[in-house]
Amino acid sequence: MPYMASECQRKGKMVEDQKRKLLMVLALLLLPSSAQSGNTDRRTEHHCMDFQRASFLGGRKLKVQFLLFTSLSPSCGELISADDGIKNCSFNSSLETKIIIHGFRALGTKPSWIEGLVQAILHTWQVNVIAVDWVYGSTGAYPSAVENVTQLALAISQFISKLLALGVSETSIHIIGVSLGAHVGGLVGHFHGGRLGWITALDPAGPKYTRASPEERLDPGDALFVEAIHTDADNFGIRIPVGHIDYFVNGGKDQPGCPRFISAGLLEQAGVNMSRLPQEVKVFLMTSPSAPFCVYHSLVEFQLQKKRNRVTSIEISFSSNSTKDTAKITIPKDQETGKRLLAHRVPLCQINSVTLKYIPKNLFWSKDEPSIVGKFCVAPLPLNSSRTMSCLPWSLTLPSKTDISYELPTACA
């Protein structure tokens, strides 16, 4: 009996030891990686904070919140202040910092796009993301929101100064401003002498700013690199260039697949040489009307066999197994060649055929020619030493208003 008791005690102790070891392993697995490696984690427990909500009538007074998002909690905003509280939060001064500034919020609601943008950034980079909540002050009438821009820019500038005091470098700060927030970002950069690293303006606002001086709005001097993406320049967006590079998507006006009169907007500077930037460059690109919106671009060209004394229009379509994309070439009067950018949803090497249709200009008093003769050429963009125009090796006769299809033999690299 004494032997059996001691054996039970020994086995019981073994079970307890095994439990203790299992709990230790489980605890290690649940600890952050920095704690496992012996580094201390300065983060404290915090509640997830969300954007404020203002009423249409009571949202003119400026109340600013700074919400921090990190890769450890990409959907949980941590409220931080511009005082010593920054030292006690999850902010990592060794990482780059991206500051998002929303624009005019007529109804006082949280921007619906903010969560998607934050998570897209954190999915791509290991960075600090700070969303500036100024819903109070951006609500009500647009002119009253504009009146708060300078005060808001000062508040953000003071916040950035606190970050710089922690050892954050000016060049590691990237401001992403949407609509009215783009000009707020411009003023913030201006207050820091244009030494911040990067400003991205998404559809910068037009009203009150189109005729403003560069000191009052976003301009290329506000950061080392300033880019703007224009998607609503015919309504609420600004029409003029405001950055080192200005992208005018689909001409910068109404976007395919989007409701009209509603403002929409990145990552990377796409290989731009940061040391030698031009004063301003306009860049035009096209998108498709449905996700994922990216398209391929090809230069299409039709060379008439002889000049004509009237404008010539030719419709050109690229067809693959699953897509068909169309553009129209217009050849001016008394000229031989017409060129056009054609956006297509699959690579050029996956295009099976090209269809051309001559569209005559028949007027009541004048009949156009029944057919035209010429040559068709195409090249994928951008053109370089390895990408040149390739032409169908024969002249084409296009009857009026008739689809004529040809195989388009292009090999994938």
pLDDT over 60 (residue 2)? no
- Of 53, 79, 71, the residue nearest 137 (C-alpha): 53
Cross-strand pairs, 173: 97
pTM higher than the cut 0.75: no
- Tell me the one-letter amino acid at 343: A
378: tokens are: 């195409």
- Which of 37-41, 84-88, 308-312, 326-330 shows the lowest per-residue confidence on average (mean pLDDT)? 37-41
Taking each continuous run of H as one helix and of E as one strand, the counts in the chain are: 6, 18
DSSP assignment of 284-315 equals EE---SSTT---EEEEEEEEESS--SS-EEEE
Cα 172 to its chain centre, rounded Å, is: 19
65-285 maps to which CATH number? 3.40.50.1820
Domain range 296-407, CATH class: mainly beta
For the chain, the average pLDDT equals 82
Q: How far apart are CA 264 and CA 292, in angstroms?
A: 15
Q: 101 with 135: CB under 8 angstroms? A: no
- Mean pLDDT (whole number) for 51-78: 85
Q: Among 352, 351, 326, which Cα is nearest to 340's? A: 326
CB 56 within 8 A of CB 139: yes
The Cβ-side half-sphere exposure at 179, using a 13 Å CA radius, reads 18
Instruction: Report which of 330, 314, 333, 277 is spatially closest to residue 398, judged by C-alpha positions.
Output: 314
**Better-predicted residue by pLDDT, 25 or 155:** 155
Residue ranges covered by each domain of the chain = 65-285, 296-407
What share of the chain in percent tops pLDDT 90?
53
pLDDT band at residue 411 under the 50/70/90 scheme = low
